[in-house]
Amino acid sequence: MGIPELAEQQYVKTRRRIHSIAKLIGRLREVLVEPIAKNDNLWLAAGEKGFSTPAIAKYNGLEIGFNPELLCVEVTDESGRFGSVTVIGKSMQELALEVLEVLKNDFNVTPAIDAAEFDAARKIEIDPKDAQEFLQQFAWFTNALNAFHKTIGLSDGVKTQVCLWPHHFDNAFKWFSGRKIDESDEFMGVGVSNGDDMYELPYVYMTIYPELRKMNTLDIPESAHLHDSGWQGLLLTYEAITEKSSAEEQTELVNNFLTKGFAAIKRGFSKR
């Protein structure tokens, strides 16, 4: 199965509402987890059924996630306890209050956040069909990124795990070459954005840091283009992917972008 045909206006509304829920769940993890490294308590885990916090060992393997199929925030732990809060028709502040109540009453967990941090005015309205389309593209891109991540060997630089960052709502990992450039680590970010103010629909990207002085020598994968506004790297848009008519062609295009783009940037690093 390929990625769905997304109606941009409706997709953007759905994505923004689900993004707000991701920010709530990310905020909960931020206060419940002591970071062992920079930003280690800020990310979530993406999967085929949605996204959630990784299991929080301090609280009996507590997981807090969003299920787009059922349109609810779900809470569970290793003892089998389960709680669920529907999101439809509630403001983010009301949703936060209900989730905090479930955590306190059913799991004896009291995150140090105030529901007043969240918007009290706008109600969450998500059409189930639109949620399904969001989940379909989300799972499709997640699987493609995870598959590519597994192809990078342990002897080939250093890669981080794949993380869903709730602030920007992108699923990504970093690959470090092991070199320092002007006292900064040389790395590339490889990921998929669900869309943002720059590109409203999903896109696959690779970022370069520190920036290369010359980008015109890079081998550009099919249908991709260079990006140098705000960040430097390569980008493959949703529109470019859906120009391919079959699921197989779409998958091949994304895999080609990831494989050839990764190799091109590595060569660019070696030629600084």
Q: In the predicted model, is pLDDT for residue 214 greater than 90?
A: no
pLDDT tens readout for residues 18-36: 999 999 999 999 999 988 7
Residues 67, 107 share a domain: yes
pLDDT average, residue stretch 236-251: 96
User: What is the structure's pLDDT at 147?
Assistant: 97
Same domain flag for 99 and 154: no
Higher pLDDT, 34 or 70: 70
Mean pLDDT, the chain, whole residue set:
95
φ, ψ for residue 245, nearest 5 deg: -80, -25
Q: Which residue has the tokens 């996204």?
A: 51
User: What is the number of domains present in the chain?
Assistant: 2
- pTM for the model stands at 0.95
Q: Is the dihedral of CA 66, 68, 72, 75 positive or negative?
A: negative
Q: Domain end: 84, 117, 150, which one?
A: 117
Q: Is residue 28 part of a domain?
A: yes
Specify the length of the chain in residues. 272
* C-alpha separations of 54 from 16, 32, 194 in Å: 23, 11, 20
Same domain, 223 and 151: yes
**Distance between CA 55 and CA 95 in Å, rounded?**
21
Residues 86 and 192 in one domain: no
% of the chain at pLDDT higher than 70:
100
- State whether 142 and 86 are in the same domain: no
DSSP-derived pairing of the beta strands 72-76 and 170-181: unpaired
- Note the pLDDT of residue 194: 98
The whole-number pLDDT of residue 2 equals: 83
Band (261; pLDDT cuts 50, 70, 90): very high
List all residues 6 or more positions away from 100 whose beta carbon is below 8 Å from its beta carbon: 110, 111, 113, 115
Q: What is the pLDDT of residues 138-169, one digit of tens each?
A: 999 999 999 999 999 878 899 999 999 999 99
Average pLDDT for 227-237: 95
CATH classification at residue 97: 3.30.920
Q: Same domain for 168 and 240?
A: yes
User: 245 lies in which domain range?
Assistant: 136-270
Backbone angles phi, psi at 124, to 5 degrees: -80, 120
Residue 136: which pLDDT band, with cuts at 50, 70 and 90?
A: very high
Do 75 and 162 belong to one domain? no
Q: Within a domain: residue 189?
A: yes
225 and 154: one domain?
Answer: yes
Question: What per-residue confidence (pLDDT) applies to 159?
Answer: 96
What's the confidence (pLDDT) of residue 38? Answer: 76
Residue 128 in domain:
no
Residue 93 sits in the same domain as residue 211: no
* Average pLDDT of the residues in 115-123: 97
Of the three residues 85, 117, 149, the one that is the final residue of a domain is 117
Residues 43 and 98 reside in one and the same domain: yes
Q: Are residues 72 and 149 in the same domain?
A: no
pLDDT digits (tens, 9 = 90+) for 90-103: 999 999 999 999 99
Closest CA to 202 of 141, 127, 126, 139: 141
* Residues β-bridged to residue 237: 203
